Structure 1
Amino acid sequence: MGRSKDSMSVLREFKFNNRPHQYYSLKAAEENGAGPVMSLPRSLKVLYENMLRHEDGLAVTREHLTSFCEAVRAKHFDQEVFFHPTRILMNDSAGIPLMADLAALRAAVARNGGDPDRINPQIPADMVVDHSVMVDAYGTAQAFEDNLDIEFSRNAERYKFLRWAQQSFSNFRVVPPGTGICHQVNVEFLARGIWTAEAGDTVLVYPETLLGTDSHTPMINSLGIMGWGVGGIEGGAAMLGQPITMALPRVVGCRLVGRLQPGVTATDLVLTLTQRLREYKVVAAFVEYFGPGLASLAFSDRATVSNMAPEYGATMGFFPVDAQTLQYLAQTARGESNELIEHYARMQGLWHDPDEPQPSYDEVLEVDLSEIVPCIAGPRRPQDRIALSEAAARFDEDVYKNAPALPNGVVPVAGHEWTMDHGHVVIASITSCTNTSNPSNMLAAGLLARNALRLGLASKPWVKTSLAPGSRVVMDYLAAAKVQDSLDELGFNLVGFGCATCMGNSGPLDSHIAQAIENSEIVTTAVLSGNRNFEGRIHPLVKANYICSPPLVVAYALAGTSRIDFENDPLGTSPDGKPVFLADIWPDALEVAELVNTALDPERFRERYKNVFEGDARWNALHVASTDTFQWEPTSLYMKQPPFFDDLTPELPERKTLEGARALLVLGDSITTDHISPVGTITASSSAGQYLRSLGIEPADFNSFAARRVNHDVMLRGAFANIRIRNEMADGREGGWTRHRPDGEVMSVHEAAARYKEEGVPLIVIAGKDYGAGSSRDWAAKGTQLLGIRAIIAESFERIHRSNLIGMGVLPLQLPQGVTWATLGLDGSETFDIANVEEIVPRSTKVCTITRVDGTQASVELLCRLDTPLEAAYYEHGGILHYIARHMLEPA
């Protein structure tokens, strides 16, 4: 890290452990004319310190520093801010494509006469391989090993590439498969709480900050560490030393009061907050928690809340540093820096004391923890909270009444003695870092399983049960608490340490069940302790998906249906014939608390993480040569050289007009990145499946879209091909279909895009509100670009996807307030001319002229969502990595 210009003279020194330490003092900045820095929200203090420390006179200037507080006061949310993260966190799903892009970028730089070694991470970067395990085997003691064997077999080419990257890139570490989920490994091990750097005879101290290539990176906010998710595209730029440009965020203070009632879980809390904050409209805001209720929330509860910041739409869900933070670091074998963390936090005004004056927020929302009640969320979105007492009735109202009639009311299942009905739970999975990082939730699930067995209950035979925690420590404390055997007996055997069902890697259903569902159109359900339940995400045959706490996942497996009123309907009967209700087996809060105290044992964490980067025999058997550039295998169907830099030259690309464009899709509200680029199973009937079949690959070997992300030929055919996407141009047909114009023929999105390319017709997509919600999925932007889509016209954009579109050279354009494709009377038969699209000015207005089939015209003014000058520069270069590469081609 280069030294700051420090034009405001804020570098200060203090003694700690008899050694001089330096830091960039926020109080000194206030005293030297920066304005009321010390009354800023704590998250903005961290951001401002980052700017002080990186003042270079170019990206960060003295003017930025002196105007920051005034911009905050005046709510100038269009002001550009630069951010340099301390480190990068990646999952394999986004991380492998990112490292493949860097490998392709190395080749492009070398091809243009540059030094490929300049393409190297400039800051520490860690990847945790967590997105590739699928739940093929389940319900047996051998399931974990079997799934890991299958994972290595399926992903051998990808993992060999990772081994090459591990050897060839500096500043890059890999946590091998079968270890955990990146966010849980991050909070349990990778995070330090504070960062230090040797600076001559002194030590420079500064806040730890982070960017991650997964949207749930804000889980780290629970430790008072500023960080959020970006796409792999933006993450790659930060890794290469490029500052992240962002608009000044609005900061919403969420004041917590009271305490959770016994029996109410952190999942109930976060689902309630997700609903409340979504309604409050915190998209792209920093949400910062404070207030007297904070002290009653254990760190693990905070982690659950921060993890789901993307679900409530916020960039971050930030918790300040306090005694709970330090206690957790000590419990997880990282307490050696606690004194320094507390000292620094108090000096900089980052420490939380509810009795002291609190920061000035743009807005404050108060939440009383004592009012939270048990709940679930679904059947399609995490913000659709339902009180548990109303869940059965809501299923009947929202889902059951619209389901097709079944013959005789139920469907026999071949090879089994039981029948199926709408609402039957076919997947029950304790999964996801959101909840498996929470010992209270996990131990409650284990105790509920123990209590259920004591009263003679069992999981229903049609339920696919699984346990996929985010770290190996979870299995250690479940075993120590003597509850894992009970979970095993109910079918919740360990299936893997990874995202699994939460990201759609739920694996196949029993073939007879699958056939019954397809033949009779049974509306089945999945319950999971995850963070997302979007349409088509969990399993293609499951239409209703619900998020709930781990103990409720077990309860639903016992019930076997989502049509159960847990207050009034029994889960089953005991051996003596008495009905057993949920209240009879719900774990005692005091017993849970006692077990939690023993679960977080420093030695347990120290032992589990001491060799975390080494991997097992499978990993170490992958031998590859160390070379500057990767040797792509032309016949590979997993690792194909990315095409994005094939035409890279030192010169800027020609600016093109956008005339005579056609709409490839016309879409509604809340189109997620799952709709745009599915991550789960590749079905045989899809364009991608048909392509793989044409190459002689059988459906059993298709693997997932996530695993084939470095094969653009597969991913291109998966773009806008989610089985639940609804294009208004396809006559109500679900899936990746559209209508080619002007002939009107209905065909796949991929086929239509290819035809338009041959015809030289530019393409756009038209959509509603919250376009690009969901995971930070770079292929949602990459696929868009490869289809030939030049611009997205939407009512509003989710933050990460808008950035990713720009990062791939696709222009985001926003409709005026109150104007929609419906109010404009669009049906996709029109042509579109967008004036001056080649003139790149941040937040400028572009006039779009719409010409209908009958020759009449209408026009609408669109807001260009290039929000900052640097975003405009990225777009001008054709993408963020193109921008960086051209600078790399300049003399060092």
Structure 2
Amino acid sequence: MPSLDSLNSRRTLEVDGQTYHYYDLAEAARTLGDIRRLPMSLKVLLENLLRWEDNATVSAYDIKALVDWQKTRSSDHEIQYRPARVLMQDFTGVPAVVDLAAMRAAMAKAGGDPQKINPLSPVDLVIDHSVMVDKFASPQAFAENVEIEMQRNGERYSFLRWGQHAFANFSVVPPGTGICHQVNLEYLGRTVWTREEDGQVFAFPDTLVGTDSHTTMINGLGVLGWGVGGIEAEAAMLGQPVSMLIPEVIGFKLTGKLREGITATDLVLTVTQMLRKKGVVGKFVEFYGDGLADLPLADRATIANMAPEYGATCGFFPVDEITLGYLRLSGRPEQAVKLVEAYSKVQGLWREAGHEPLFSDTLELDMGSVEASLAGPKRPQDRVVLPQVPKAFDEVIGLQLKPADKAPAASPHVEHDGHSYDLEDGAVVIAAITSCTNTSNPSVMMAAGLLAKKAIDKGLQRKPWVKSSLAPGSKVVTEYFKAAGLTPYLDELGFDLVGYGCTTCIGNSGPLLEPIEKAIQQADLTVASVLSGNRNFEGRVHPLVKTNWLASPPLVVAYALAGSVRIDISSEPLGTGKDGQPVYLRDIWPSQHEIAEAIGKVDTAMFRKEYAEVFAGDEQWRAIQVPQTDTYVWQEDSTYIQHPPFFEDIAGDPPHIGDIHQARILAVLGDSVTTDHISPAGNIKADSPAGRYLRAHGVEPRDFNSYGSRRGNHEVMMRGTFANIRIKNEMLGGEEGGNTLHIPSGEKLAIYDAAMRYQESGTPLVIVAGKEYGTGSSRDWAAKGTNLLGVKAVIAESFERIHRSNLVGMGVLPLQFLDGQDRKSLGLTGRETLDICGLDGVELHPKMRLSVEVHREDGSREGFEVLCRIDTLNEVEYFKAGGILHYVLRQLIAEGA
């Protein structure tokens, strides 16, 4: 922390006999001006700048600019931010470690020291994305799924074990432990971080970036953190600051309390809808108001988790007594809790009753007005109040209940395992208690267990076509279910433990029963999943399930009992009880008193027990043998881990930045194209380019695993780019699937095959899209695959924050249509060629204008301007070097030359 401390703000703090050094915000304010009403989240950034002042990356001018934000409550000033640590999950972590291994190989090839490629900041990688729901509704499901996971992912896990030994400051939490965000909340996060330098202990706010968009969950604990692409995260751990503009901060005032029967999930879906409508992309959201005094930490974490869904960089909660209570409950050392209280109060980071910071804009919600809700069927911001779900479903598929003018189509008959029934549109075929959003929250988890108990007592069972699963975020959850006596009831309804991981929410729902899959395909049924997750984008949960609904865990159980989203479960019976009488949701919904009584079973001993040896892993993990080498020994026959081509020419000159001529359009896409559409995480189709590649390398379709698990192999991932079965290319009339029209041949080809043909002819490529391009997960392969396909630029109406940054980080130009223009107004069909001009012989600068000349098939020409979304000076340097990792590696090679 090389601070010049030009404001003379360094002080000491005594806590329980320990001396801590810190940079005092109040002392700095003597020179800078009053900061008492600066948003808490910006105070964290201010402290970061004070601590890293060096007159190179951080100057006194940068520090003053952050304080001066209060005058206009917005800024176009760029700052360099250094988070304390980095968090990864394995889907994004594996390609990040592959990149680090490739950088070491490139460094060695250039004659440098490969040990220079090493994390400088602590990195925790939690393996949570690989377990699939292959087995369910049985006491053996967990053990069998873990066994299958270890068999499928042996190569990946061996590689991560190598990384664990090869890199300093790099820890791996083994599979079967929990979801990275819940492990972060329950164990890794500290709220106040400490570091020893030259015998002195420094205290400062805990901050991080993570390679998963839901890193934001930790903001519920007063820890500033957000998701970045793996590319940015690697640069951060290698010592590069995160370049960012001082953000606008939207204040969200919470008042009142949730009513009886309303859950934290209902609250977060309401908040998500409100903030999406407001428009908070690229902004901080900070929660304030006296309603926070009654908002449990787990509820705060639930709201903070969904920041990617409402579009914000983060959703920050200040530190208060509730924060301290959670730190104690979860087993943090008492000395650390006392430090959090003392440091937060002395720095003005402690929430006081009635405090209202200055914000760029504000919203307000009386929590007493929140209604029971789901979100769906395709976007997390599309909230539907519970009684309206059947209507919302019917509107999606263009059906009406019992239409008078025609008889309903025959529903396919299904027989399996002693059950016989007709499967219909709207059938809930997946009911999953899954994902980080809700499985960290004892109130909604206990509510699900209590509802299961009451359902069993009434004589209800889940419908036989429902694939049910329970995937908690940590082992603490199963401990408190057991302590509350609720496990047997969940098991009896088929919600047996299937694994500790994300499972269904990230597309690892596993196969449906074969007769059900056949029935869906034969009758082209529109069926549903109901999950307690945060993502319900098209094609994500399961390729055959077209509508996906986000709901609280107790509502997941309720829909498993009802078996259909065409039943209004708020007023219609879920089923018939053992007494022959109809059973309604109101009959089995647990009271707040019952939930509170169950939550009382959660104690500190559970956390301490489950996190005592968090990095050790089970016997299978410990048995993995890996070579103790500085550079990785690449296996040519591996279909999981391959040496990527990104750094092949790193010793040569940086790439020439020039105009792009005679580019072809690879695809024309609409609004809300997600990173799932661009780089799917789930199922690999046997006849897709990736499937053909795997079969050619001797991999049977049953062993394909998922795109997410194969992110360490660029050959699979570039073939999977734009291969989502639900992506719609307007060049083919909006037809679904990862295909395009090759011009000038006019052939319909898989996007990968067309891109390779264009590469053979030396033709540069462009993607054209609508609004919110790249929403969703912080998926670096959405940018890496785009680069490897030969795409030089993406022209869209707007970009989601992380994906825009990732495109720059991979040397792809993000270009934005000017207001009032889009692909439709400009008549872009995909048959044109484009020249992108304004780069030749020009010094790049942030947000410059470029011109695009359109050459149409009839020989006519037309021009328009675009905004180049290289937003900061750092990004300019990264782009000129060929990408952010190229920039870092070139610097390291130069230092060793």
Q: So what's the TM-score if we normalise by structure 2?
A: 0.97
Matches within 5 A, 1:2-401: 2-32=1-31, 34-200=32-198, 202-336=200-334, 337-355=336-354, 357-399=355-397, 401=399
1:849 to 853, 865, 890: 853
Measure how far apart 1:696 and its partner are. 2.9
What is the distance in 2 between the residues matched to 1:109 and 1:823? Answer: 48
Residues 692 and 201 of structure 1: CA distance in aligned 2, closer, same or farther (over 3 Å): closer
Measure how far apart 1:30 and its partner are. 1.4
Partner in structure 2 of residue 877 of structure 1: 881
Instruction: Name the aligned partner's letter for residue 278 of structure 1.
Output: R
Partner in structure 1 of residue 590 of structure 2: 587
Instruction: Name the aligned partner's letter for residue 410 of structure 1.
Output: S
Alignment of 1:523 onto 2:522:
no
Bigger shift: residues 563-572 or 296-305: 563-572
What is the distance in 2 between the residues matched to 1:692 and 1:239? Answer: 33
2:698 to 687, 696, 699: 696
What is the distance in 1 between the residues matched to 2:197 and 2:191? Answer: 19
What is the distance in 1 between the residues matched to 2:409 and 2:280? Answer: 48
What is the distance in 2 between the residues matched to 1:173 and 1:694? Answer: 35
Measure how far apart 1:653 and its partner are. 1.8
What is the distance in 2 between the residues matched to 1:345 and 1:656? Answer: 50
1:518-552 deviations in Å (ceiling 9; x for gaps): 11100010000000000000000000000000000
Residues 695 and 136 of structure 1: CA distance in aligned 2, closer, same or farther (over 3 Å): same
Instruction: Name the aligned partner's letter for residue 875 of structure 2.
Output: E
Measure how far apart 1:436 and its partner are. 0.6
RMSD between aligned alpha carbons? 1.4
What is the distance in 2 between the residues matched to 1:743 and 1:700? Answer: 35
Matches within 5 A, 1:826-841: 826-838=828-840, 839=842, 840-841=844-845
What is the distance in 2 between the residues matched to 1:171 and 1:335? Answer: 22
2:608 to 583, 606, 613: 606
Bigger shift: residues 695-704 or 529-538: 695-704
1:849-875 deviations in Å (ceiling 9; x for gaps): 111111212211111111110001001
Matches within 5 A, 1:379-778: 379-399=377-397, 401=399, 408-415=409-416, 416-599=419-602, 601-778=603-780
Alignment of 1:886 onto 2:890:
yes
4+ residue runs over 4 A deviation: 199-202, 402-408
1:557-604 deviations in Å (ceiling 9; x for gaps): 0001001111321111112211100000001210101111221x1111
Contact 2:73–2:359 (Cα < 8 Å) also in 1: no
Instruction: Name the aligned partner's letter for residue 889 of structure 2.
Output: A
Measure how far apart 1:656 and its partner are. 3.4
Contact 1:487–1:493 (Cα < 8 Å) also in 2: yes
What is the distance in 1 between the residues matched to 2:742 and 2:176? Answer: 45
1:163-217 deviations in Å (ceiling 9; x for gaps): 1101110000000001100000000011112112234564321111011100000
What is the distance in 2 between the residues matched to 1:864 and 1:402? Answer: 46
**Where in structure 2 are there 5+ consecutive unaligned residues?**
none
What is the distance in 2 between the residues matched to 1:62 and 1:254? Answer: 31
Contact 2:415–2:421 (Cα < 8 Å) also in 1: no
What is the distance in 1 between the residues matched to 2:396 and 2:71? Answer: 44
Instruction: Name the aligned partner's letter for residue 588 of structure 1.
Output: S
What is the distance in 2 between the residues matched to 1:70 and 1:648? Answer: 41
What is the distance in 1 between the residues matched to 2:543 and 2:641? Answer: 26
Measure how far apart 1:402 and its partner are. 8.5
Q: Secondary structure at the match of 1:413?
A: strand
Measure how far apart 1:710 and its partner are. 1.1
Residues 650 and 359 of structure 1: CA distance in aligned 2, closer, same or farther (over 3 Å): farther
Q: Secondary structure at the match of 1:227?
A: strand
What is the distance in 2 between the residues matched to 1:350 and 1:234? Answer: 28
Alignment of 1:866 onto 2:870:
yes
Measure how far apart 1:344 and its partner are. 1.1
Measure how far apart 1:406 and its partner are. 9.2
Residues 642 and 515 of structure 1: CA distance in aligned 2, closer, same or farther (over 3 Å): same
Instruction: Name the aligned partner's letter for residue 7 of structure 2.
Output: M
Measure how far apart 1:742 and its partner are. 1.6
Instruction: Name the aligned partner's letter for residue 851 of structure 1.
Output: H
What is the distance in 1 between the residues matched to 2:681 and 2:793? Answer: 23
Instruction: Name the aligned partner's letter for residue 798 of structure 2.
Output: S
Partner in structure 2 of residue 808 of structure 1: 810
What is the distance in 1 between the residues matched to 2:598 and 2:54? Answer: 51
Contact 1:326–1:335 (Cα < 8 Å) also in 2: no
Q: Secondary structure at the match of 1:97?
A: helix
What is the distance in 1 between the residues matched to 2:462 and 2:697? Answer: 41
**Where in structure 1 are there 5+ consecutive unaligned residues?**
none
Contact 1:406–1:520 (Cα < 8 Å) also in 2: no
Q: Secondary structure at the match of 2:187?
A: helix
What is the distance in 1 between the residues matched to 2:839 and 2:736? Answer: 32
Contact 1:400–1:422 (Cα < 8 Å) also in 2: no
Contact 1:19–1:202 (Cα < 8 Å) also in 2: no
Measure how far apart 1:380 and its partner are. 0.1
Instruction: Name the aligned partner's letter for residue 579 of structure 1.
Output: P
What is the distance in 2 between the residues matched to 1:6 and 1:693? Answer: 60
What is the distance in 2 between the residues matched to 1:50 and 1:314? Answer: 21
Q: Secondary structure at the match of 2:399?
A: helix
Q: Secondary structure at the match of 1:623?
A: coil
What is the distance in 2 between the residues matched to 1:745 and 1:542? Answer: 30
What is the distance in 2 between the residues matched to 1:686 and 1:55? Answer: 51
Measure how far apart 1:417 and its partner are. 1.3
Contact 1:432–1:502 (Cα < 8 Å) also in 2: yes
Measure how far apart 1:343 and its partner are. 1.4
Bigger shift: residues 226-235 or 195-204: 195-204
What is the distance in 1 between the residues matched to 2:704 and 2:182? Answer: 29
Q: So what's the TM-score if we normalise by structure 1?
A: 0.98
Contact 1:38–1:45 (Cα < 8 Å) also in 2: no
What is the distance in 1 between the residues matched to 2:34 and 2:368? Answer: 35
Instruction: Name the aligned partner's letter for residue 319 of structure 2.
Output: V
What is the distance in 2 between the residues matched to 1:592 and 1:699? Answer: 45
Contact 2:74–2:360 (Cα < 8 Å) also in 1: no
Contact 2:74–2:247 (Cα < 8 Å) also in 1: no
Q: Secondary structure at the match of 2:820?
A: coil
Q: Secondary structure at the match of 1:707?
A: helix
Size of the aligned set, in residue pairs, is: 888
Instruction: Name the aligned partner's letter for residue 895 of structure 2.
Output: P
1:270-295 deviations in Å (ceiling 9; x for gaps): 00000000000011110000001111
Contact 1:20–1:201 (Cα < 8 Å) also in 2: no
Contact 1:234–1:880 (Cα < 8 Å) also in 2: yes
